[in-house]
Structure 1
Amino acid sequence: MYLRRDESKLRCRYVLFDLDGTLTESKEGITRSVQYALKKYNIFVENLDSLQKFIGPPLKDSFIQYYGFSEKQACGAIGYYRKYFVSRGMFQNKVYEGIEDLLKKLEKLKLNLMVATSKPTVFAEKILRHYGLYPYFSAVAGANLDGTRCTKGEVIEYILDKYNIGDLDRVVMVGDRKHDVLGASQNGIDCIGVTYGYGSAGELKNAGAAYIVHDVGELFTRIVSI
């Protein structure tokens, strides 16, 4: 992967995309993986919608917050989660309509497109390759498998440092949950919140999103008008 030369006449040069709920509709795979992990602790959840809250934040934090797991239990649950996710859940997923066309148009404008996700990098790369999106991105960064660099703020910081991105006015984060907005804010960059994912307009607004858009077409217009 490599960064594109700064040939764009747009103010925005770097666009960081969240993965789940922004590029792909990953609810089924993630919630079924969580469901599988909870069963190992004799917690039976039939309504997958109730597990949607796991999409976005680090998994360990969610197991602790929503089910009262100890840190040791949460780490064990992540192991069970990954067992299901790798075998089935990873591809119980689909690309949102219009996303590939969006990436093509942004690529033609010579923008650097990057993925910043709380999902482990190795899984994010496999998903992007599976759905043919990988070539559009100059960088893909996520959590480490050992649980480090798991918050969105840490992932964004890693990207900015690794690629020596100092002009923060030319960077924008795109995501669907408050964690994307807060992670962007921690690093001094704006965030475009998208409501077609798993977070509401209210959640994004309260977190401080600089912009809120409701569909992929509107997202393109916003990026090129910043």
Structure 2
Amino acid sequence: MKNYEYILFDLDGTISDPKIGITKSVQYALKRMGITEENLDHLESFIGPPLQQSFSECYSFNEPQIQTAVTFYRERFKDIGMYENTLYERIPSLLQELSDNGHTLVIATSKPTVFAEEILKYFNIHHHFDLIVGSNLDGTRTSKTEIIQHILHHYSDQPKGSFIMIGDRKHDIIGAHNTGIDSIGVTYGYGSLEELTAIKPTKIINSVSEIREFLLKDTNIQNQS
């Protein structure tokens, strides 16, 4: 099995469950735009992709409307929404063990970097990550391909075979494909098995425990010997 020295983690739907904070902030933005959506489940598609893309695809907003909606979204998200969030079970221990075993951990998220940093500090797991890369507040560098490429450039002296991207949506896997690195699609987040299967990640995994088993396989064997 390959030894992935650099492990890239998506944030929303992979490290934490942000449903309440994201969907309520989208709901707030839509209300400010004159649209009422009572069912938060209908807004789950906003978890993962760039906000700009979701407002365009789900509500056919034009560019000025998208920018206005994103501004409204951030009004609520920066004060309330980012904290309406819970870590998936066993994430802290997974990060600790990966760090202890010499892996370099990186966040690769479409969420603005400043929000990602604040969320990781809130959960007290920021110290596990060597680098945190997200989008810019001005709407640039939102695609996973751009984000992963930025990370690869940061570690430009390392072979691509030492990197793997872990995420719950097709955008994570597409970004990995486009930049030539391996990927893990996790089914416990917000991407369906069908979505992940169709995009063909290197590995599909169903739980945080399975991530550990896959990435620390050599360690598991040593511990059993």
TM above 0.5: yes
Corresponding residue of 1:158? 150
Q: 1:128-207 residue pairs with structure 2 within 5 A?
A: 128-207=120-199
1:4-61 residue CA offsets vs partner (Å, 9 max, x unmatched) = xxxxx96210000000000001010000010000001111001101100001111011
What is the alpha-carbon distance in structure 1 between the residues aligned to residue 25 and residue 164 of structure 2? 30
TM-score, normalised with respect to structure 2: 0.94
Which of 4, 11, 19 matches 1:12?
4
1:217 to 168, 190, 209: 209
- Secondary structure of the residue aligned to 2:64 is helix
Separation in structure 2 between the aligned mates of residue 165 and residue 75 of structure 1, nearest angstrom: 37
Aligned CA distance change for structure 1 residues 166 and 34 (closer, same or farther; 3 Å): same
Which residue number corresponds to residue 91 of structure 1?
A: 83
Identical counterparts, % of pairs? 47
SS at 2:78's partner residue?
helix
User: Are residues 1:123 and 2:115 paired?
Assistant: yes
Aligned equivalents of 2:183 and 2:104: distance in 1? 16
Instruction: Output the CA distance in 1 between the equivalents of 2:185 and 2:13.
Output: 11
What is the one-letter code of the residue matched to 2:117?
Answer: E
Q: What are structure 1's unaligned runs of at least 5 residues?
A: 1-8
What is the alpha-carbon distance in structure 1 between the residues aligned to residue 34 and residue 157 of structure 2? Answer: 47
CA distance in 1 between counterparts of 2:207 and 2:198 reads: 19
Structure 2 residue aligned with 1:38: 30
User: Cα distance, 1:190 vs. partner?
Assistant: 1.1
One-letter identity of the residue aligned with 1:169: G
Report the counterpart of residue 221 of structure 2 in structure 1.
none
Q: Conserved in 2, the CA contact under 8 Å of 1:35 and 1:48? A: yes
Report the residue type matching 2:25 in the other structure.
Answer: S
Pick from 68, 76, 92 the counterpart of residue 68 of structure 2.
Answer: 76
Measured against aligned partners, the alpha-carbon deviations of 1:92-140 in whole angstroms (never above 9, x if no partner) come to 0011110000001101110000000000000000000010010000000
For 2:162 and 2:154, the matched residues in 1 are separated by 16
> In 2, Cα distance between the equivalents of 1:18 and 1:52?
16
Say if 1:12 and 1:224, in contact at 8 Å, map to a contact too.
no
Distance in structure 2 (CA, Å) of the matches to 1:133 and 1:165? 27
The alignment partner of 2:110 has SS state of: strand
Residues 57, 118 of structure 1: 8 Å contact kept: yes
Gaps of 5+ in 2: 219-225
